[in-house]
Amino acid sequence: MIASGDVAPVSAAGADVIVVGAGMGGLVVAHDLARAGRDVVVVDAAEEVGGLLRRGTLAGVDIDLGAESFATRTDAVAALVADAGLPLELVAPRPQGAWLAVATDDGVRRARLPRRTVLGIPADPEADDVVAIIGADGAARARDERRVPVAADAEPSLYDLVAERLGVRVADRLVDTLCRSVYSRPAAEARLSQLHPGMWREFVARGSLLEAADAIATGQRAGAAVGGIAGGMWRLPTALAEAAASRGAQIRTGVAVHAVRADADALEVETVSGSLSARHVVIATGPAEAARLLAGAGASTRSPAAVRLVAAAIAHPALAAEPVGSGVIVDAALPTAAKALTHITAKWDWARAATPDGIHLVRLSARDAAAGTLATADEVAREVSILTGVEVAAADVVDLVVQEWTDAVVGAAAPDDLPAGIHLAGAAAAGTGLASVIPHARDLAARLDSALAASLPSSSLHTHPVS
Ligand SMILES: Cc1cc2nc3c(=O)[nH]c(=O)nc-3n(C[C@H](O)[C@H](O)[C@H](O)COP(=O)(O)OP(=O)(O)OC[C@H]3O[C@@H](n4cnc5c(N)ncnc54)[C@H](O)[C@@H]3O)c2cc1C
């Protein structure tokens, strides 16, 4: 059952599991446990399920205002869709790929995102598509990496590691640009071992970032690095919630959780409209809200970092040439308000088919959500002009949607000393992105199912068939 308002009725003994948050992490846990026959209640403060996967409407077309694709380095999404029997079509983006816009002495240089890179670290710094971005002198500097000894002390920031070994051109134009775009933080505040443990292991084993990137890039599966869902990613949580509900999960939207309490023999979840008890509680909210609930604090003392994006419908014929392929990622040194642009109708066939002729849909993400820029047709026209090279006027912007996400940036690592029975799911526990969130949540559901089976007296073991 999916319903809005008032908390779900739970038996006097309480639910097996209460899930706080119906984003992808929470829904995956709820679905797998419901399918295993467990009593699951999901509560979400928002009126719609999906969390950071949300539908917006632009020029009459349904689009994504949150995640718009998933990494295909694992089959996490495909396996979930197949296992849960979701009526969704997985699709690949059109093949033209994305571009980079970098600051040069003469202004802006736009070039294709090099193919064989890992987190922007090139496998071959002298490949044409790399030289187009870092220049011949940047390539020569990076090629000499082997002369740089591997330091034995503590791991430096990703920026320092790359700048020291491959030079500042690679660090600034490729690695920092991608890090800010994909992980919403500068490379100077990230570590390779956290962002890409496999790449870090290869580096430690080989003593060379170039060789590590070559090894990883060679091992990567052929085809697009990301996939999507026909009609938009927002369909995934919607379909998953329906599948979970059809298997017995109770899903309540519009119910905010104030506190989670672990008493001597019960776990209590306090909501706006009453309290619930359960054997296990899974906190699957955004990272700042999860930290608040775990700390038992009344209100968040620190405002979480925000992500701001604007989606716009633009009527300009020159965009039909797809000047930056499926989109462009922007160097931090360029004086733009946007750090990335996705040309939605160039990237996804389903979006192009649904969009009126002559209209192009784009999505811009702001560098600094707090600055409050990127909200007007003037600002969108200016940014699109710089990033694509097509002179767009404010009058060409025929529709606009602004979306701000206030709890979307994963900062500190998840605590590993949670009270008994309380568990963390979603990006707060697994790291950003569906390729991390989904496998983590499925693993947690399997562990909870085993724990419940072990703790229940045999007379009360569930007998529901696993479908
Ligand atoms: C703009 C943007 C683009 C992205 N693009 C991609 C992409 O292309 N590919 C990709 O793989 N990932 C992408 N991501 C990341 C991805 O969306 C997230 O990592 C993932 O969706 C997080 O899922 P989650 O379950 O952790 O939490 P969320 O989706 O954040 O869901 C948390 C839920 O908890 C609810 N909640 C919060 N507090 C409470 C409370 N107190 N009581 C009850 N409910 C509460 C919220 O309403 C929300 O529904 C993107 C993220 C953003 C913001």
DSSP 399-439: EEEEEEESS----SPPPS-PPTTEEE-SHHHH-SSHHHHHH
Enumerate residues 6+ apart whose C-beta is below 8 A from 421. 262, 267, 279, 280, 281
Distance (Å, rounded) from C-alpha 329 to C-alpha 182? 9
Q: Is 28 in the pocket of ligand 1 (CB under 6 A)?
A: no
CA atoms within 13 A on the CB side of 289: 21
Mean pLDDT of 171-181: 91
The rounded radius of gyration (Å) of the Cα atoms in the chain is 23
- On the question of pLDDT at 328 being above 90, the answer is yes
Residue nearest to atom 35 of ligand 1 (CA): 21
Q: Is 434 in the pocket of ligand 1 (CB under 6 A)?
A: yes
State residue 463's pLDDT score.
40
Both tokens of residue 298?
């009344």
Distance (Å, rounded) from C-alpha 376 to C-alpha 378? 5
Instruction: State pLDDT tens for residues 273-284.
Output: 889 999 999 999
How far, in Å, from the CA of 372 to the mean position of ligand 1?
Answer: 21
Closest of 345, 353, 351, 361 to residue 397, by C-alpha: 361
Reported as type and span, the H/E element at residue 40 is strand 40-44
Q: Is 182 in the pocket of ligand 1 (CB under 6 A)?
A: no
Q: Is 426 in the pocket of ligand 1 (CB under 6 A)?
A: yes
Segments in 174-273 forming alpha helices (H): 177-183, 192-195, 197-206, 209-219, 235-246
State residue 459's pLDDT score.
43
Mean pLDDT of 385-396: 97
* DSSP secondary structure of 51-69: TT--EEEETTEEEESS---
State residue 465's pLDDT score.
39
Of 393 and 413, the structure prediction assigns the larger pLDDT to: 393
Enumerate residues 6+ apart whose C-beta is below 8 A from 390. 316, 318, 319, 323, 384
| pLDDT tier at 332, thresholds 50, 70, 90 | confident
| pLDDT tier at 462, thresholds 50, 70, 90 | very low
What are the backbone angles phi and psi of residue 55, rounded to the nearest 5°? -85, 140
Measured from the CA of 71, which atom of ligand 1 is nearest? 11
Distance (Å, rounded) from C-alpha 105 to C-alpha 82? 51
Mutate to test the pocket of ligand 1, among 18, 29, 32, 52 (most ligand atoms within 8 A of CB): 52
Mutate to test the pocket of ligand 1, among 285, 307, 363 (most ligand atoms within 8 A of CB): 285
The torsion of the CA quartet 416, 417, 419, 422, rounded to 10 degrees, works out to 0
- On the question of pLDDT at 461 being above 50, the answer is no
Measured from the CA of 434, which atom of ligand 1 is nearest? 11
Q: Is 43 in the pocket of ligand 1 (CB under 6 A)?
A: yes
Mean pLDDT of 177-193: 88
Q: Is 227 in the pocket of ligand 1 (CB under 6 A)?
A: no
* DSSP secondary structure of 134-158: HHHHHHHHHHGGGGSPPP-SS---H
Instruction: State pLDDT tens for residues 144-157.
Output: 998 888 887 889 99
Segments in 325-407 forming alpha helices (H): 344-347, 349-354, 377-388
- The domains found in the chain, sorted by start residue, are 2-53+231-303+410-460 (3.50.50.60), 55-73+90-95+305-405 (3.90.660), 113-219 (1.10.3110.10)
State residue 293's pLDDT score.
93
Distance (Å, rounded) from C-alpha 341 to C-alpha 363? 6
CA atoms within 13 A on the CB side of 259: 11
From the number of C-beta atoms within 10 Å of its C-beta (0-12, 13-18, 19+), residue 341 rates as buried
Q: What is the mean pLDDT of the chain?
A: 90
How far, in Å, from the CA of 341 to the mean position of ligand 1?
Answer: 20
State residue 148's pLDDT score.
86
From the number of C-beta atoms within 10 Å of its C-beta (0-12, 13-18, 19+), residue 352 rates as middle
Instruction: State pLDDT tens for residues 88-125.
Output: 999 999 988 889 998 888 888 899 989 899 999 999 99
| pLDDT tier at 66, thresholds 50, 70, 90 | very high
- On the question of pLDDT at 302 being above 70, the answer is no
Measured from the CA of 49, which atom of ligand 1 is nearest? 49
How far, in Å, from the CA of 23 to the mean position of ligand 1?
Answer: 5
Q: Is 53 in the pocket of ligand 1 (CB under 6 A)?
A: yes
Distance (Å, rounded) from C-alpha 59 to C-alpha 354? 10
Measured from the CA of 286, which atom of ligand 1 is nearest? 30
Query: Which residue is associated with the tokens 């088919």?
Result: 353
Residue nearest to atom 11 of ligand 1 (CA): 433
CA distances to 256, 304, 314, 434, 443 from 411, rounded to whole Å, are 23, 9, 35, 17, 22
Measured from the CA of 430, which atom of ligand 1 is nearest? 26
Measured from the CA of 292, which atom of ligand 1 is nearest? 41
Measured from the CA of 50, which atom of ligand 1 is nearest? 49
Both tokens of residue 310?
């604007």
- On the question of pLDDT at 70 being above 50, the answer is yes
Closest of 325, 354, 395 to residue 95, by C-alpha: 325
CA angle centred on 400, ends 394 and 404, rounded to 5°: 125
The torsion of the CA quartet 34, 37, 39, 42, rounded to 10 degrees, works out to 0
